[in-house]
Amino acid sequence: MGDRVYIFDTTLRDGEQSPGISLGVREKLEIAEQLQRLGVDIIEAGFPATSQGDFEAVGQIAEKISGSTVCALARAHPQDIDRAWEAVKGAARPRIHTFVSTSDIHLEHQLHKSREEVLQMARESVRRARGYCEDVEFSPMDASRSDPEYLYRVLEAAIEEGAGTLNIPDTVGYAVPDEFGALIRGILENVRGARDVVISVHCHNDLGLAVANSLAACEAGARQVECAINGLGERAGNASLEELVMTLKVRHDRIGLVTGINPVEISRTSRLVSLLTGYPVQPNKAIVGKNAFAHESGIHQDGVLKERTTYEIMDASSVGLIESDIVLGKHSGRHALKEQLERLGYYLNEDELNEAFARFKELADKKGSLSGGDIEAVALEYIRTEGQDWKLTGYEVHSGGHEAPPSATVTLEREGRHVTERAIGDGMVDAACKAIRTALGVDARLISFTVEAITEGLDSLGDVTIQLDIEGRRVVGRGVSTDIVEASARAYINAVNKVLR
């Protein structure tokens, strides 16, 4: 069985299904390349049959990524499997992951099919996928609520047709650890051929047990875990990659299993995913939260100062949480910015670097000097922007007064076309967003608005996150500036662009 646990990351597939997350191709590529640096074994790049955008993103990731297996998801439908292969066939290591529900509740209320019909669907889908590539994964959806004897039959059929990985999903986060561990042991003991393939698990976090269930499965014999950065995913999310990996590392004495993850890249990966998705990491989040290594209690502070291990079971530097000494000022050159961006893990092409440098100089003139966090924010503005997107090129606001209400005039540009619009609002931010909405002709409803300071001090860059509902679709946008109105306008445009693409 071995002591190696393979890490299957589904941030770009299940993670993107979190409400409001809508990543562009460039953003997905940036995350995929960072996942490769992190040491992820398998990257589930998307669900190609769902949209042309997802198909194109999976295809580009397949072409760019060589160190990790690139996987495409497909329902147990011939057209889904064909589409998945078309998207992923350019990968150095392609995988097709096909699935069908096996619980009676899903068969009756969702699929409206008999057990025998679903068994045949599973068999045919694996056979079709296996005709395209050697690496095929099969998942019986809602496995933790399925009849075990029927589940065994379906899994045996998948093995017979050539599936090399059997993934056991706790789709609705229903299982508890001892129960889920017993399910994995039952599969290994009762399914013919199960010990000759990789047993995987995909646990959701509806009861907060996704990581615990995944660990129980590993102890029972599973050797692949499907997880996501920051625990992103449907509803309450998936098993958190960083929590799972560091538990296996810190408690190797107890569990005895290893991964191929480079933990020093964990913090950077978490931060990148948070900034690109617009989903902030809660301060008390294990491993990557800003309070994860903070000590407020005097007793704790005293202990850590005397001996770190008194109140810390791992070193912050082991997950890449180190204080950055990067500071660039208005006299810093283009080469210095490029060097520091690459030190932070951002590799912009020449055109993007030129635009980022112009933006850097603009902010440095206002702020004086930029920290590592500020520089990262500059890079992310260009990662979030596709070539054909609308961009903010000018704005003017008036706070209003006793006689006149607040107003804003914005100028937007896309591929040489300029649009200028003026609006009034309850405040300057409201007016600016209304002007953008009118200029672009979209009907957007604000769901949430948050603003944070990237660094300490009154001259900090403001980081604004906006969630909008545009024709029933929720999207998140993020913008950064020393001026909150400008940051808000940039966030608003970023969100609208995701729909207009």
Segment among 67-71, 304-308, 367-371 with least mean pLDDT: 304-308
With respect to residue 113, please indicate whether it lies within any of the assigned structural domains.
yes
Terminal alpha carbon distance of the chain: 46
* Domain hosting residue 343, numbered range: 327-383
pLDDT tops 60 at residue 324? no
Segment among 253-267, 307-321, 336-350, 434-448 with least mean pLDDT: 307-321
CA distances, 150 to each of 89, 106, 114 (Å): 33, 14, 12
105-123 pLDDT per residue, tens? 999 999 999 999 999 999 9
With respect to residue 41, please indicate whether it lies within any of the assigned structural domains.
yes
Same domain? For 76 and 99 the reply is yes
Domain final residue, candidates 340, 360, 383: 383
Dist. CA 222–CA 214, nearest whole Å = 9
CATH assignment at residue 431: 3.30.160.270
β pairing state of 198-203 and 224-227: parallel
pLDDT at 59: 98
CATH assignment at residue 110: 3.20.20.70
In the chain, the number of structural domains is 4
Kindly give, in sequence order, each residue whose CB lies less than 8 Å from that of residue 494, ignoring residues fewer than 6 positions away: 384, 385, 477, 478, 479
Same domain? For 197 and 182 the reply is yes
Can you tell me whether residue 66 is helix, strand or coil?
A: coil
Exposure string (b/e) for 223-236, b if CB count within 10 Å is 16 or more?
bbbbbbbbbbbbee
Same domain? For 359 and 423 the reply is no
pLDDT band at 213 (very low <50, low <70, confident <90, very high): very high
Segment among 174-188, 245-259, 310-324 with least mean pLDDT: 310-324
With respect to residue 121, please indicate whether it lies within any of the assigned structural domains.
yes
Domain final residue, candidates 363, 383, 403: 383
Same domain? For 110 and 239 the reply is yes
DSSP string over 277-340:
HT-PPPTT-TTTSTTTT---SHHHHHHHHH-GGGT-SS-GGGGT------EEETT--HHHHHHH
Give CA angle at 23 (465, 62), nearest 5°.
155
- Rounded to an integer, the average pLDDT of 14-30 is 90
Residue 262 near residue 34, CB atoms below 8 Å: no
pLDDT band at 302 (very low <50, low <70, confident <90, very high): low
Same domain? For 120 and 168 the reply is yes
Q: For the chain, give the mean pLDDT.
A: 92
pLDDT tops 70 at residue 296? no
> pTM to 2 decimals?
0.89
With respect to residue 288, please indicate whether it lies within any of the assigned structural domains.
no
Residue 240 DSSP class: B
pLDDT tops 60 at residue 288? yes
Dist. CA 440–CA 68, nearest whole Å = 40
Same domain? For 162 and 245 the reply is yes
Dist. CA 331–CA 373, nearest whole Å = 18
pLDDT band at 323 (very low <50, low <70, confident <90, very high): low
Kindly give, in sequence order, each residue whose CB lies less than 8 Å from that of residue 251, ignoring residues fewer than 6 positions away: none
Same domain? For 149 and 29 the reply is yes
Dist. CA 379–CA 358, nearest whole Å = 11
Same domain? For 217 and 172 the reply is yes
